[in-house]
Each structure stands twice: as C-alpha cells, then as structure tokens.
Amino acid sequence: MEGVATSIANDSSTQPRSSRTRVAIIEDFPASREGIVRILESTADFEIVLVAASGTEFLRSAGSCEVDVCLLDLSLPDIDGVELIGRIKEL
C-alpha cells in the first residue's frame, strides 16, 4: 500500500481559496477509494486534495495541503481510525 497517497492540491499560498469543499480520502480498499473519488469528482462542490491508502500515508502528506473534510475508513490496517481522528486534530 505504500506510495498510494496522492496530494492533488497546489501550493495554497499561490492559489486563491476555492469555494469548493477540500476533501481528503483515507481508505485502504482500492475499489472503495476509487469509487469515492469518482463520486466526488462528478460534482462541482468538492475538490479532492489528498487520497491515501493508510493513516500513515495521510499523516506524511497532510502538511502539504489544506483540508476541510476527511472521509476516513475507521478500520485502517496501520492506525485505528479513532486514533487517527485524534492525531488529525493535533495537526
């Protein structure tokens, strides 16, 4: 699962703030992850800024973008989803 995390956002310091909701997706199951991406890409209301297959990948990449909402699998293989929520709050 290593190498799946993808930061999609550009440097926020040079980009104007979008009116769309910036979303991070943290899901280890590829079919679910890809389905969520497709659904959110089909609407103009959301901007996917980060996609990760594990909590560790998300935490490594989270500092590179601004996120409004995290869609988080609570049963991740490396970090319990509830624990990850606590760590996200500390960012």
Q: How high is the mean pLDDT in each 10-residue block of the chain (91 residues)?
A: 51 58 97 97 95 96 91 94 92 82
Q: What is the pLDDT of residue 90?
A: 87
Q: What is the pLDDT of residue 12?
A: 43
As a whole number of angstroms, the distance between CA 29 and CA 16 comes to 33
Q: What is the pLDDT of residue 6?
A: 62
- For the question of whether the overall pTM of this predicted structure is more than 0.85, the answer is no
Q: What is the pLDDT of residue 10?
A: 43
Q: What is the pLDDT of residue 9?
A: 46
Q: What is the pLDDT of residue 13?
A: 42
Q: What is the pLDDT of residue 55?
A: 95
Q: Give the CA dihedral 64, 70, 73, 75, nearest 10 degrees.
A: 70
Place of tokens 């999609």: 8
